[in-house]
Amino acid sequence: MTPDTTALVSRLGRPLRLIVTGGGTGGHTYPALTAVRTLRARLAAAGGALDVLWIGTAAGLEARVAGSEGIPFRTVATGKIRRSANPLKLISPANVKDMGRVPLGVAQARTAVAEFDPDVVLGTGGYVAVPVGMAARMCHRPLVVHEQTVRLGLGNRALARMATRVAVSSESTLGFLPDSARPHAVVTGNPVRPEVLTGRGDKAVQTLGLWGFDREAPTVYVTGGAQGSQQINQLISDILPWLLGHANVIHQCGPAHEAGLRARVAALPAHIRARYLVSGFIGPELPDVLALADVVVSRSGAGTLAELTALGRAAVFIPLAGSAGNEQEHNARHLADAGAAVALIGPATSDALQDTIGPLLTDPARRAEIARRAREHGRPDAAERLVDVLLSVLDR
């Protein structure tokens, strides 16, 4: 049920106060930012306003994002648990030292929460969310925890037991919650930036000058994230002549890798070279590129999954080995097991990539079926759903 925002604004008689915490990576930071933007717009439409304080770490991405948005920012001390399959290695000097910082962080967070006096606290994961979530509980403020990945991160696992509501991105996550948290859990999906959903493929052709692309052939978008992936770049380079014989390719390779790939392209036959665009970074054009793409080759971070399923894109996932808690492999398996993506699990070779992507390029029906199933897992309204949860706790 959607909360009555107009009635809430009238009852408050002042701006709603929100503390948001979470960060370290884009996977925690950007869903929080999208939720803030969506909540602000919801309140403004009802004649209200939003006051926000973001609590994070000075070195995290969240500090830069909050600054660029004009959101007041405050830091607290935090510790990091270095995972290991061997329980004895968890008791390492570095872990012990960092855990010793947690009480300081809780004290700092409690001061911040008491001074700001929020109506609600939103935690989106990362180690910094733990002391802030604990402080919210101590100050008797409603706490909403949002989990982006299929499995719970360590921070959100700790906070789930004390949260007022737990918002998760997938039904599969519910089984990983502590028993005490399940009655308060709701599936919202992972907030996706609205602009990602409004791209136009023809605009990408115009903006990027893709005049050599064969519009009868499928288009593949390859990305390893903002900084690129040496692994993905090498795999694509190994199969590039074959790949360009079946598809157009837009390759976002990362600024540090662009020169090497351009040299590789120069050796290609002219008739297929025109089907390939390599770029160090794809910025504002990304929504249009995603609209043009028939297949996406990428890592399997939570944000990427949210965007591709919301759009309904066929994808080949190459999980980042060693990601925290092996979350990228879990994310990729989750969709692959549902027939909503293809995943290269384990050692990724150029032969395996060619064998995997080939059927998606030569069989439009197979590609369309994977895209359809991906769309079934997508939640393009996730930000609105999360805002519903934030507003609902205010009536308690």
Residue 304 is part of a domain; what is its CATH number? 3.40.50.2000
Same domain flag for 320 and 384: no
Confidence of residue 347 (pLDDT cuts 50, 70, 90): confident
Which residues fall within 8 angstroms of residue 385, CB to CB, at 6 or more apart?
167, 186, 188, 189, 379
Q: What is the pLDDT of residue 79?
A: 66
Same domain flag for 173 and 209: no
Rounded to an integer, the average pLDDT of 206-224 is: 96
Q: What is the pLDDT of residue 263?
A: 86
Same domain flag for 233 and 369: yes
| 70: phi then psi, degrees, rounded to nearest 5 | 75, 25
pTM above 0.85, yes or no: yes
Whose CA is closest to 121, among 140, 106, 107, 108? 140
Q: What is the pLDDT of residue 373?
A: 98
Same domain flag for 54 and 119: yes
Same domain flag for 144 and 228: no
75-79, 162-166, 192-196: the lowest-pLDDT one: 75-79
Q: What is the pLDDT of residue 94?
A: 52
Q: What is the pLDDT of residues 137-157, one digit of tens each?
A: 999 999 999 999 988 888 898
Same domain flag for 168 and 241: no
% of residues, the chain, pLDDT over 90:
79
Confidence of residue 82 (pLDDT cuts 50, 70, 90): very low
Q: Is the dihedral of CA 120, 123, 128, 132 positive or negative?
A: positive
> Which residues span the domain enclosing 181?
5-192+380-395
Q: What is the pLDDT of residues 274-325, one digit of tens each?
A: 999 999 999 999 999 999 999 999 999 999 999 999 999 999 999 998 766 6
Read off the tokens for 120.
């609600």
Same domain flag for 54 and 164: yes
Same domain flag for 111 and 259: no
Same domain flag for 155 and 302: no
Same domain flag for 102 and 199: no
* Residue 88 pLDDT exceeds 60: no
Average pLDDT, the chain: 91
Same domain flag for 85 and 178: yes
Q: What angle, rounded to 10 degrees, do the helices at 364-377 and 350-362 form?
A: 100
Same domain flag for 91 and 237: no
- From the CA atom positions of the chain, what is the Rg in Å? 22
Please give the tally of structural domains in the chain: 2
Rounded to an integer, the average pLDDT of 113-120 is: 98
Rounded to an integer, the average pLDDT of 210-216 is: 95
Higher pLDDT, 150 or 134: 134
% of residues, the chain, pLDDT over 70:
93
Q: How buried is 111 (Cβ within 10 angstroms: 0-12 exposed, 13-18 middle, 19+ buried)?
A: middle
Read off the tokens for 365.
């029906």
